[in-house]
Structure 1
Amino acid sequence: MTRARGDVFEGDDRQYSPTRLHGWLQLVNGSGRVRPELLTRAELAALSTRELVRHNDRRSVWHANIGPIWTPQLRGLHEDLAEIVESNRHDGDKAKPAALVDAYPGLGKSTAVREYGRTLYREQIALRGETTVDGQRRVPVIYIALTGNTHIRGLNAAICRFYGLPTSGDADTLAERAVDAVLSLKTVAFIIDDVHFLAGSRGSSMRMANQLKFLSNVFPVTLVYVGVGVRQRGLLREGFSPEQTLLAQFGRRTTPLTLRPFTVEDEPGRQEWRTLLLTVERQLILADGVSRL
C-alpha cells in the first residue's frame, strides 16, 4: 500500500527476488494493491504539482503490475498442473512424474506457473499449517531460475540459495544440504524456470537429461520445469539406441504442457483476444477512462 508521512512518500513498488525464500514469501503472501483513484481531466487539473506526481506514480506501479489475467489458457494450464501435483502422492522411494511447460517466449508462462506455485503454497499452508510438527517453517513450494551453462553443482547451489543455506562445497555436499531442507521444511514442489539454459546446444540434450534425472532421483518433490524450445532439443524424445535410453526414460516420466497463444484466424479466437483486451482496459487508470472496445 502507498505510504506518505509528511514530505516522505513511499509508493507501492515491491522489490524482491522470488528465487530467494524471503522474496518468494512476499510474492506468496503479498496483499492486493489498492487501485488508484480514477480522476476526470478537471480533477487532475485541480491537483497540486506534488499531488499529480504522486498520483501518476501510483498509476505507473498499478499499470506495471496488472495481472495475472485469468485467461482460458492460464486456467487450463493450472488445471493440468494441479492434476499432476495432486496425483503425485508417491512414497519417497519412488520417482514422481514431472511437468514441463514449454511455450513460445512472451506468452506469460513464467507468470502463469509462478501464480500456480503461489496458489499451491497457500493451499498447503491452509491444509497443514504454517509450521511443521518439528516447529520449522513450512515451505511447500520453491522457485528457482537457471542461468546459462548451469551444471549440477549450479542447480544444487540455486536450491540452497533459495533456502538461505550455504553454497560452499561440491555438488554432492550441496545436494545433501538441499535434501535436508526439503525434508525438514516439507517442500512438495520445485518450480525450475529457464530450464532451456541447461541445454546449450541441440547436442547437449543428453547432459540436460542427466541433470534433470538427477533431480528427480534425489529430491522427493514434483518438479515443474519451465522453458522455451526444450522439446525441440530432444529432451523428451523416445530413444532406441543405448545412448538414448535416458532420454526415453525421462520423457516417459515428464508430461509436456504448453500455454496456447492467442489467435485471430477464427471467431472464437478473436472473441478470446477481445475479452483479454477488454479485461486489460478495465484495469487502466486513465483520465475520463471509457471503454471503446
Structure 2
Amino acid sequence: MAEAGPAASEDPAWRALPLDNLTLTRKEGFAAFAEARETPIPLTLTMADLRALDPAALEHYNDDRRRFLANLRPIKTMQVQELSADLTDIFDAGVDQPNWQAKGMAAIDAFPGLGKTTIGLSFAKKVHNTLISRHGRFTEAGHERWPVIRVGMMGDTSVKDFNWAMLEFFAHAGRNSGSANAFLSRALDCAVSCQSRLLLVDDLQFLQFRSRRGTELANQFKTIANEFPLMILFIGHDLEGKGLYDDPQLARRITPLGLQAFSIEDEAGREQWRRFLLSLEQRLVLANKYPGMLADDLSDQLYARCSGHIGSLMSLIRLGSLRAMRTGQERLTKDVLAQVKLDWAAQQQLAKWEAFLASGKVTSNRTRAEGGGDDAPDAAHPAARAPG
C-alpha cells in the first residue's frame, strides 16, 4: 500500500491532520486550493447604503470586498479557452493509454505576467475535481486518490531533488533518506497507487537544460513519461532558449503551447481587450461603478499602464479598487489609477505607451484605429522586450 495516505474511511484523514494547507507543493495544500469554494461576490451597495452602515458593519463589508478582490476568478478569454481545450485534448488522449505507452507532455511557454501558471493551475484543478468526482476520493484498493502532483523548480534542482519533491508532495515516509533511484521508485509507487494522472512542473525556466544537471533532468522527464501513468505539464518562459527541445525525444513528445499579451494593433485584438474589460468591470464591487467605466473611459490608460500584460492589469485593478474603497470614491478613475504604483516592467513601458496613445495613432477602445502599426512601442508583442 502506498505511504501517501491512510486507507479509506468515511472522513478523509488528511482533512483533520495539522498538515500544510497553504503551499501547492504538498497534497493537502493542493487539495485545499483545488476544492476551495469560490469566494462569494458581495452585494454591491449604493453610496447611501454605505453611509447607513455602522463602523463595524462597514468594516465587515469591506473585508468581504477585499477578500473577493484577492480571489478574482480568471476571465476566460478566447486565447485561454483555446489553450485549455488543447490541454484537455492532450490529457484525454493519454489517460486511457496502456501503461507501456509514453503519456503526453505539454509545455505552456509565455512571458512573465501573462497568466500561464494561473491557466496551468486551473487545468490541474479541473483534473483533480473531475477525477475525484468521477471515481471517488479513494481507489478500489483503499488508497487516497491524488490525481495531480505539483512540483516547483529551483535553479539548482537535481534529479534527486526532483524525485524528493514528488515524495514531499505525497508526504511519503521514505523521503528522508535514499538515493535518487530509490526516491523515483517510491514516487512511482505513490503515483500508481494513488492513480495520479497529471504531473505539473512549474517554473521550468530556472533550469538550464544545456548544463550537465539539466541534461540529467531532461533524461529523467523521459523516464517519468515512459514509466508513470500520467501526463506531464511544464510551465515556464523561454523554454526553447533554455534548451528543453534540444533532446530529440522531448522535442517529439512535448506539445508547445503559448500565450501572448493583449494587442491593440488590429480590430480583433481591440475587441478582445474590450470584452475582457467589460467582463472585469462587471465583477468589481464598487458603489459608484457604471457601465463602460473600464472599457470606455479607462481603456487607453489601463493599456498604457499594463502594456497588455494580464498580471500587471489585475494588480492595477486590485490596488486601484482598494484605494477607491479606502478613499470613499467607490469608482476607478484616471486619478485613482495614476496613484497606484506599478511593477518595474510596467513602469518601463508606461511612458512609451502613454505617448503613443496620446498621439492618436492608435487607441484601444475604438472600432477602427487611425494610423497605428510599426511605430507602436513593442507593437506586435508588447511583452517582447519586457524584462523577465
Length-normalised TM-score, structure 1? 0.86
Deviation at 1:232, TM superposition (A): 1.9
**1:149 & 1:216 partners in 2: Cα distance?**
22
Q: Which residue of 2 aligns with 1:221?
A: 230
**1:235 & 1:288 partners in 2: Cα distance?**
50
Alignment of 1:204-215 (within 5 A): 206-215=215-224
Q: Which residue of 1 aligns with 2:164?
A: 157
Q: Which residue of 2 aligns with 1:12?
A: none
State the structure with more CA Rg. 2
Quick check: 1:17 aligned with 2:5?
no
Deviation at 1:24, TM superposition (A): 1.1
Quick check: 1:275 aligned with 2:275?
yes
Q: What is the aligned counterpart of 1:199 among 188, 198, 208?
A: 208
**1:203 & 1:72 partners in 2: Cα distance?**
40
Q: What is the aligned counterpart of 2:45 among 30, 33, 39?
A: 39
**1:148 & 1:205 partners in 2: Cα distance?**
10
Q: Which residue of 2 aligns with 1:250?
A: 250
Q: How many equivalent residue pairs?
A: 270
Q: What is the aligned counterpart of 1:174 among 176, 183, 196?
A: 183
After superposition, what is the alpha-carbon deviation per residue over 1:196-247, rounded to whole angstroms, capped at 9, x for unaligned?
222277887534423422332342311011111111223214xxxxxxxxx1
For structure 1, the 5+ residue unaligned runs are: 1-14, 238-246
User: Contact 2:151–2:166 (CA<8 Å) still a contact in 1?
Assistant: yes
**1:291 & 1:203 partners in 2: Cα distance?**
56
Deviation at 1:130, TM superposition (A): 2.0
**1:94 & 1:111 partners in 2: Cα distance?**
29
After superposition, what is the alpha-carbon deviation per residue over 1:219-276, rounded to whole angstroms, capped at 9, x for unaligned?
2311011111111223214xxxxxxxxx111111111111232111001100101111
**2:82 & 2:46 partners in 1: Cα distance?**
39
Structure 1 residues 204 and 136: CA distance shift in structure 2, 3 A: closer
Quick check: 1:291 aligned with 2:291?
yes
Q: What is the aligned counterpart of 1:83 among 78, 89, 99?
A: 89
Deviation at 1:99, TM superposition (A): 0.6
Q: Which residue of 2 aligns with 1:101?
A: 108
Query: What RMSD, in angstroms, separates the aligned Cα atoms of the two structures?
Result: 1.9
Length-normalised TM-score, structure 2? 0.66
Q: Which residue of 1 aligns with 2:151?
A: 144
**2:208 & 2:221 partners in 1: Cα distance?**
11
Q: Which residue of 1 aligns with 2:309?
A: none
3-state secondary structure, aligned to 1:34: coil
User: Contact 1:131–1:138 (CA<8 Å) still a contact in 2?
Assistant: yes
**1:56 & 1:184 partners in 2: Cα distance?**
46
After superposition, what is the alpha-carbon deviation per residue over 1:56-81, rounded to whole angstroms, capped at 9, x for unaligned?
11111111111211111111111111
3-state secondary structure, aligned to 1:232: coil
**1:100 & 1:29 partners in 2: Cα distance?**
25
After superposition, what is the alpha-carbon deviation per residue over 1:34-91, rounded to whole angstroms, capped at 9, x for unaligned?
1112111122122222222221111111111112111111111111111111111332
Q: Which residue of 1 aligns with 2:118?
A: 111
The residue identity in structure 1 corresponding to 2:284 is: L
Quick check: 1:73 aligned with 2:79?
yes
Structure 1 residues 180 and 133: CA distance shift in structure 2, 3 A: same
State the identity %. 33
3-state secondary structure, aligned to 1:263: coil
3-state secondary structure, aligned to 1:55: helix
3-state secondary structure, aligned to 2:139: coil
Q: Which residue of 1 aligns with 2:139?
A: 132
Q: Which residue of 2 aligns with 1:186?
A: 195
The 4+ residue runs of structure 1 with deviation greater than 4 A are 200-205
The residue identity in structure 2 corresponding to 1:260 is: Q
**1:235 & 1:208 partners in 2: Cα distance?**
10
